[in-house]
């Protein structure tokens, strides 16, 4: 077990069950997941906000939530199916998250009586792909250039 140096007061060294690099990697890995979830949720919320604004729909909380929930559920399904928390910035994970967000979101919209016009599906497909995959491509590119 690694040990910390004796305290300045001359006390005994402390033994730790894990090494500091492991603890640091775990904390940073958790932060990476939190940031990735935050980015994905923001993507969906921006998509909803732009869509509602472009159709001059009310921007009240209830209307916004009514439009957002199917895609947020789809996003959650995508994270679960791909186990995105393991490597959230990976492009294969992004493809799974994007696909689930889109398909589950559209199915739930249809089941809840919301519109699924072809033009809306095309816009949703393109926007969600560009941004859910785009940030992951950028993260992967930056990671490669740094390492």
Q: Would 15 be classed as within a structural domain?
A: no
Give pLDDT, residue 59: 67
SS (H, E, C) the chain: CCECCCCCCCCCCCECCCCHHHHHHHHHHHHHHHHHHHHHHHHHHHHHHHHHHHCCCCCCHHHHHHHHHHHHHHHHHHHHHHCHHHCCCCHHHHHHHHHHHHHHHHHHHHHCCCCCCHHHHHHHHHHHHHHHHHHHHHHHHHHHHHC
Residue 56 pLDDT: 74
Q: What is the pLDDT of residue 145?
A: 77
pLDDT for res 55: 79
pLDDT of residue 23: 39
Range of the domain at 133: 20-146
The answer to whether residue 8 sits within a structural domain is no
Q: Report the pLDDT value the prediction gives residue 25, as an integer from 0 to 100.
A: 42
Domain count, the chain: 1
Is 9 domain-assigned?
A: no
Quick one: pLDDT at residue 12?
55
Q: Mean pLDDT of successive 10-residue segments in the chain (147 residues)?
A: 49 48 48 93 95 79 92 98 94 97 97 93 97 94 76
């Amino acid at each position: 077990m690694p040990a910390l140096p004796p305290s300045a007061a001359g006390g005994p060294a402390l033994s730790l069950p894990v090494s500091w690099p492991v603890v640091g990697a775990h904390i940073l890995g958790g932060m990476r997941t939190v940031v990735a979830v935050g980015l994905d949720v923001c993507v969906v919320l921006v998509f909803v906000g732009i869509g509602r604004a472009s159709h001059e729909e009310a921007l009240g909380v209830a209307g916004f939530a009514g439009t957002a929930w199917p895609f947020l559920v789809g996003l959650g399904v995508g994270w679960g199916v791909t186990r995105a928390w393991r490597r959230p910035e990976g492009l294969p994970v992004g493809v799974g998250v994007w696909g689930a967000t889109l398909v589950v979101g559209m199915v739930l919209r249809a089941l809840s009586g919301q519109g699924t016009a072809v033009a809306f599906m095309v816009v949703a497909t393109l926007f969600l792909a560009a941004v859910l995959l785009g940030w992951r491509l950028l993260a992967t590119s930056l990671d490669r250039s740094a390492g």
